[in-house]
Structure 1
Amino acid sequence: MLRVPVQNPDGSPAMPTKASRARYWVQRGKATSHWNDAGLYYVRLVAEPSGRETQKISVGCDPGKNYTGIAVQSAKFTLYTAHLVLPFERVKERLGSAVIKRGKVIKNVRGRSLQRQVRRGRKIDRKVPFNQRSHRQKRFNNRCKKSKLAPSIRASREMEIRIITELSKVFPITTIVYELVKADVDLTSGRKAARSGKGFSPVMVGQNWCVEKLKSIAPVKTVYGWQKNKNGTSQIRQHLGLEKIKDKKAQVPESHAVDGIALAASEFVRYGVTPRKNCDTRGWKGYVNITYCVFRVITRPAYFRRALHFDNAEKGGVRKRKGGTITPFGLRYGDKVIAEKAGKTDIGWIGGFTNTKTKNISVYDHNWKRIGQFSPKKVQLLRRSNKLCVV
Structure 2
Amino acid sequence: MLRVPVISPDGKPLMPTKASRARRWLNQGLAVVYPNDLNVFAVQLVNQPSGEQVQDIAVGIDPGKMFSGIAVQSNKATLWTGHLVLPYKKVRKRMDTRRMMRKTRRSRRIDRRVPYSQRSHRQKRFSNRVNKKVPPSIRANRQLEQRVAKELSLLYPVKAIVYEVVKARGDKGFSPVMVGQYWSISQLEKIAPVTQKQGWETALKREALGLVKDKTDKSRQSLNTHAVDGIALAATHFFRRKNYYHNKGKLSVPENCNITNALLFVIRRAPISRRQLHLLQFSCMWKTT
Q: TM-score range by the shorter chain?
A: 0.7 to 0.9
Q: CA deviation at 1:320?
A: 2.7
Q: Secondary structure of 2:223's match?
A: coil
Corresponding position: 1:208 with 2:182: yes
Matching residue within 153, 171, 185 for 1:168? 153
Count of aligned pairs:
273
Structure 2 gap segments, 5+ residues each: 112-117, 245-250
Q: Which amino acid letter does the alignment assign opposite residue 256 of structure 1?
A: H
Q: String of CA shifts for 1:129-154, please: whole Å, max 9, x gaps.
A: x9xx9x9998x734354233111111
Cα distance change of structure 1 residues 88 and 308 upon mapping to structure 2, 3 Å threshold: closer
Q: 1:224 is matched with which residue? A: 198
Q: 2:81 is matched with which residue? A: 81
Q: 2:282 is matched with which residue? A: 320
Counterpart contact for 1:177–1:264, Cα < 8 Å:
yes
Cα distance change of structure 1 residues 309 and 321 upon mapping to structure 2, 3 Å threshold: farther
Counterpart contact for 2:59–2:73, Cα < 8 Å:
yes
Matching residue within 247, 251, 260 for 2:230? 260
Cα distance change of structure 1 residues 199 and 71 upon mapping to structure 2, 3 Å threshold: closer
Counterpart contact for 1:90–1:302, Cα < 8 Å:
no
Q: Distance in 1 between matches of 2:40 and 2:253?
A: 33
Corresponding position: 1:185 with 2:147: no
Cα distance change of structure 1 residues 225 and 310 upon mapping to structure 2, 3 Å threshold: closer
Q: Which amino acid letter does the alignment assign opposite residue 245 of structure 1?
A: D
Q: Distance in 2 between matches of 1:221 and 1:264?
A: 10
Counterpart contact for 1:271–1:283, Cα < 8 Å:
no
Q: Which amino acid letter does the alignment assign opposite residue 6 of structure 2?
A: V
Q: Distance in 1 between matches of 2:2 and 2:278?
A: 52
Q: 2:248 is matched with which residue? A: none
Cα distance change of structure 1 residues 222 and 88 upon mapping to structure 2, 3 Å threshold: same
Q: Distance in 2 between matches of 1:288 and 1:258?
A: 15
Counterpart contact for 2:87–2:140, Cα < 8 Å:
yes
Q: 1:350 is matched with which residue? A: none
Q: Distance in 2 between matches of 1:145 and 1:28?
A: 61
Q: Which amino acid letter does the alignment assign opposite residue 260 of structure 1?
A: G
Cα distance change of structure 1 residues 295 and 31 upon mapping to structure 2, 3 Å threshold: same
Matching residue within 243, 248, 258 for 2:218? 248
Q: Distance in 2 between matches of 1:149 and 1:184?
A: 20
Counterpart contact for 2:97–2:278, Cα < 8 Å:
no
Counterpart contact for 2:59–2:230, Cα < 8 Å:
yes
Counterpart contact for 1:185–1:201, Cα < 8 Å:
no
Counterpart contact for 1:184–1:200, Cα < 8 Å:
no
Q: String of CA shifts for 1:44-73, please: whole Å, max 9, x gaps.
A: 111110000001110000000110000000
Q: CA deviation at 1:89?
A: 3.8
Cα distance change of structure 1 residues 110 and 46 upon mapping to structure 2, 3 Å threshold: closer
Q: Which amino acid letter does the alignment assign opposite residue 222 of structure 1?
A: Q
Counterpart contact for 1:183–1:203, Cα < 8 Å:
no
Task: Flag the structure with higher helix content.
Answer: 2
Q: 1:299 is matched with which residue? A: 268
Matching residue within 139, 150, 163 for 2:135? 150
Q: Distance in 2 between matches of 1:264 and 1:170?
A: 16
* Rg (Cα) greater in structure: 1
Cα distance change of structure 1 residues 109 and 61 upon mapping to structure 2, 3 Å threshold: closer
Q: 2:34 is matched with which residue? A: 34
Q: Distance in 1 between matches of 2:59 and 2:155?
A: 12
Q: 1:61 is matched with which residue? A: 61
Cα distance change of structure 1 residues 291 and 147 upon mapping to structure 2, 3 Å threshold: same
Q: Distance in 1 between matches of 2:87 and 2:278?
A: 25
Cα distance change of structure 1 residues 121 and 260 upon mapping to structure 2, 3 Å threshold: same
Cα distance change of structure 1 residues 38 and 142 upon mapping to structure 2, 3 Å threshold: farther
Structure 1 gap segments, 5+ residues each: 96-104, 123-129, 187-197, 227-231, 275-281, 312-318, 323-353, 357-391
> Could you say what the CA RMSD is over the residues aligned between the two structures, in angstroms?
3.4
Cα distance change of structure 1 residues 203 and 291 upon mapping to structure 2, 3 Å threshold: closer
Q: 1:369 is matched with which residue? A: none
Q: CA deviation at 1:265?
A: 0.5
Q: CA deviation at 1:202?
A: 6.0
Task: Flag the structure with higher strand content.
Answer: 1
Q: CA deviation at 1:286?
A: 3.9
Q: Secondary structure of 2:83's match?
A: strand
Q: Distance in 2 between matches of 1:108 and 1:169?
A: 36
Bigger relative CO (Cα 8 Å, ≥ 6 apart): 2
Q: Secondary structure of 2:131's match?
A: coil
Q: Secondary structure of 1:11's match?
A: coil
